[in-house]
Amino acid sequence: MVNKETHHHHSPRQGTTSPTNPNAELKAWALYDYAAPSGQEGKEEVELSFAAGDSFQVLQRDNPEWWYVRDSRKAEGFVPTTYVSISKNGPPVAAKAKSVESVEQAEASSDDEEVFSSSGDESEEEPDDGEEENIEDDVDSARQSDQHLDQVLEKQAGSVKSSRRGRARDRDEAAVQKHQGRDRRRSHHGSNSNASVRYNEKSQDSPDDTRYHRDRRRSSHDQRSRRASSRRPLTVGSHDALDGFGPLPQGFRVSTLGRTIAAGVGKLERAIAPRLAYDALDFCDLTWDANNNWIRRRPAAHTIAFRIESALCVPNPADHIQIVGRVARIALFDGTGVLGNIHSIPATRDADAPYSWRFKSKASLLFPNDDKNACFLRADEAPNAALLFELALLCRDQRPAVAARNDQPVEISCGWALLPLASIDGVAVPSGMHELRLAGGTPFEKNVALQTDMSRHGFLDGFLTSNRTPRVRIKIWRLGTTTVRRINQLPSPLIAPLAALRVLTRYRQCLAHALLEHPQRSKLPSTCSPGLALFPAVAADADLFRLMVISWTKTAAAASRKDKRTPARMHQLFANAVSAVAPALRVMDVGRCVPGHEQLTRARHQALLRMRQTGVVDSLTMPGFSMQPFDVAEVKFGFLSAGGAGVY
């Protein structure tokens, strides 16, 4: 016996002193089952296997993690201190609960965050069949307490529909298994039965221990509520606006992007405005390259061109709903909100296919050879960034009281789709045609399907007809080097028509030259600059912006080489082009631009065509046009107020 103790004297698990007789009077009891690793023959450190309730005689306890004991079979070895407890009156039940509480309280400060993040990933384990009846009663009382707490939390959360009972159990399971994993790393073994035993033992906690776990669950619920509220800056469409339309197909909601842009978020004039740095000492996206005498180019992580080819099998509402137009809204979405601006593309219904939408623009007298559907995207690296496509119907409210008070159509979303900019491995979205399945609801709702009213009438129709899934077809392609160099002069993120690239780069060039020529760059007071001041307002109107694109394209093509080499001359030509289009903003007969509104768009095109044929300035004196008065403040430009520029 002396030889065995001397044999373990130099073991790293032992303390610096040899076993002493005073410890022989101490008796320890096992709190949980423990399975020692196999293959210990011939090793200096021998671990003992035991079951809950076994007794030991403590021979040495200098090491706080491992005690050297002798069991009832006269076998000696090491046992983990977290699995045993010293008692002179048999296995104490209260000591078990106290041990669990002390272990979790010691690790609460470092493990709470990891436990909350892993909730829901662990499966709930069933208690062992060999437990005593008093333990089962304690488990039932703890469950009743959890159910009462769940009801209180559900009433406070309001929108949280799922029960908290399973999540609270999962968090307790995660805490137990995390502590158990640390014990495995100490002993280099695995055990599958310890988690369920520890869970049953913890069900007998004292009222203080139950209160401790309830406080942890409540704090976890508060943290999740705060995170959910901060991750949703966009307001989900309310169903109150749809009350006057009667029954709608499944998945139809108020347009999320439509409500967002109506609230002033995602406008183009703000996206192209210069942005101040965090220290507010300079502009972070408007720097000058003195060597090339041009704006310094800033490469972006994603620069692609795309076009919406068509939308197929889009469900239609009932016949009693008056549809005045269709529109597709595009935005860069990261799962929590819109990044950059929201771009709108009008759509038309295909006469041959009533469930298909067309987006290809046709040549007209006002906009010849203008492909307004081709767009480009410039975006920096962002987690979970994707292109959000939302199809919306412009409908009128049929209630007489609402129609008399407000004649503006309501945008009803009839499907949305996401196109990730990169895969999980970081590979960029490939070029080619992409078919995206349309989902119902809002981008914040999951697993909401669209209801289609297209049904097959025969058995062979399932083999002869094509896919009936609502989907949108997107074409992606890469741009040339010259085009990418132009796009690199623009801010990011940005979505704009590809035909407007020259106008946007010239506007940014004028901003840079105006900043260089400013006499007092530290103060930047407002100056009189009609071109820079009126261009954001023109860009906000889709029809006038396309008219500005055509006007500037012709002006730049007619400029001489000498004018193109003189920046001041090109800036003057740009200001003249803006001043020629901006008066149309004050023509009352043109009306406000509503993307996708078919009747209003035709009326605006006719009025703009007349103004283009006679000239905008000359049309002011013609009969049939009523103008709003001008304000001198409209031509006042300030760098700090251009398009709502702010600190980013």
CA distance linking residue 486 with residue 481, whole number of Å: 9
**Range 544-555 average pLDDT:** 88
Tell me the per-residue pLDDT of 452-488, one tens digit each, with 9 for 90 and over: 655 555 555 555 555 678 899 999 999 999 999 999 9
The number of residues making up the chain comes to: 648
**Range 302-307 average pLDDT:** 92
What is the model's pLDDT at position 101? 43
CA distance linking residue 295 with residue 149, whole number of Å: 61
Residue 62: what are its φ and ψ, rounded to 5°?
-70, -30
Is 575 within 8 Å of 529 (Cβ atoms)? yes
Kindly tell me if the per-residue pLDDT of 641 is higher than 50. Answer: yes
CA distance linking residue 45 with residue 66, whole number of Å: 11
CA distance linking residue 510 with residue 533, whole number of Å: 11
Tell me the per-residue pLDDT of 81-121, one tens digit each, with 9 for 90 and over: 888 888 766 665 544 444 444 444 444 444 443 333 333 33
Which residue would you say has higher pLDDT here, 523 or 441?
441
CA distance linking residue 543 with residue 539, whole number of Å: 9
Full DSSP string of 99-166: HHHHHHHHHHHHHHHHHHHTTTSSPPPPPPTT--HHHHHHHHHHHHHHHHHHHHHHHHHSS--S-SHH
What is the model's pLDDT at position 2? 37
Q: What is the CATH number of domain 2-91?
A: 2.30.30.40
Query: 3-state secondary structure string, 19-84?
Result: CCHHHHHCEEEECCCECCCCCCCCCCCCECCECCCCEEEEEECCCCCEEEEEECCCCEEEEEHHHE
Which residue would you say has higher pLDDT here, 199 or 64?
64
Is 474 within 8 Å of 389 (Cβ atoms)? yes
Among 78-87, 224-233, 254-263, 309-318, name the one with the lowest average pLDDT: 224-233
What is the model's pLDDT at position 636? 81
- Within 10 angstroms of residue 543's Cβ, the number of other Cβ atoms is 20
Is 473 within 8 Å of 432 (Cβ atoms)? no
Tell me the per-residue pLDDT of 208-240, one tens digit each, with 9 for 90 and over: 444 444 444 444 444 333 333 333 344 444 445
Is 61 within 8 Å of 85 (Cβ atoms)? no
**Range 330-354 average pLDDT:** 88
pLDDT band, residue 142 (cuts 50/70/90)? very low
What is the model's pLDDT at position 348? 87
Residue 176 in 3-state DSSP? Answer: helix
Burial readout 476-502 (b: 16 or more C-beta within 10 A, e: otherwise) = beebeeeebebbbbbbbbbbbbbbbbe
Place of tokens 């990261």: 334
Which range has the top average pLDDT, 141-145, 245-249, 363-367, 419-423? 419-423
The CATH topology of domain 239-641 is Immunoglobulin-like (2.60.40)
Is the model's pTM score more than 0.75? no
Name beta bridge partners: 342. Answer: 331
**Range 283-292 average pLDDT:** 78
Tell me the per-residue pLDDT of 6-44, one tens digit each, with 9 for 90 and over: 344 444 454 444 344 444 468 888 888 888 877 776 676
- Within 10 angstroms of residue 172's Cβ, the number of other Cβ atoms is 23
CA distance linking residue 228 with residue 162, whole number of Å: 15
CA distance linking residue 491 with residue 471, whole number of Å: 31
What is the model's pLDDT at position 419? 93
- What are the extents of the domains in the chain? 2-91, 94-230, 239-641
Kindly tell me if the per-residue pLDDT of 206 is higher than 60. Answer: no
CA distance linking residue 144 with residue 150, whole number of Å: 10
